[in-house]
Structure 1
Amino acid sequence: GGGGKGIRKPTGRDDFENLFRQVQTEVPGSPIFLMKYADSCRHLEVQILADQSGQAISLFGRDCSIQRRHQKIIEEAPAIIAPPEIIEQMEKAAVRLAKMVNYVSAGTIE
């Protein structure tokens, strides 16, 4: 889904099965991804620009951790919560990804 649709935190097996069925009906036909719950983490992302000639640049990393119902309400840039080396690695990885998939446009890598 987008905008946080489908994000759930099950508390046990029965809860997982019920929540999984809920998500299936909310986002029919969409792939469903499962991941281990990460407590006390931050939502960092990188904005990019890419053109038809294969060039891509990172505009900046940003911190989108302030959310309500899994939707971003504040996007802070540049991201200062992580060490500069980590942000630089994220930005380089985002540019590599954009080039690998021949992405064209403005975009966000989360």
Structure 2
Amino acid sequence: MELRPHAMAVFGVLHFMPASGAGGNFWGFLAMFLLLFLTTGIGNGSTFRMIPVIFLTERQREAAGADPAQVRRDAAKESAAVLASARRWRPMAPSSCRRATAPRLH
């Protein structure tokens, strides 16, 4: 089983909390919480960046023999709609997610 950085940060937060009458360590707790926020934010941004690629791949599979430029436009529209909807419900998304609206296709 692979232990991811955000999972390790959760264990770190738990480790530095007060327990059984013993005081916790505030600075360790704070550092682990900052690490937790940083690592989950990076994961969230990665997910948002995958959305345009996923829609492009789906449209390419469905469009056997169709115009490639139209397929890219359709995928860009769908991914932009999903990202806009996600932004509406997730206003605290990382700035890297807020900039990505459609895939940059060459």
When Rg is computed on C-alpha atoms for both structures, the one with the higher figure is: 2
Name the one with the larger helix percent: 2
- On whether the aligned pair clears a TM of 0.5, the verdict is no
So what's the TM-score if we normalise by structure 1? 0.27
Instruction: For CA contacts below 8 A with separation 6 or more, give which structure has more relative contact order.
Output: 1
Name the one with the larger strand percent: 1
So what's the TM-score if we normalise by structure 2? 0.28
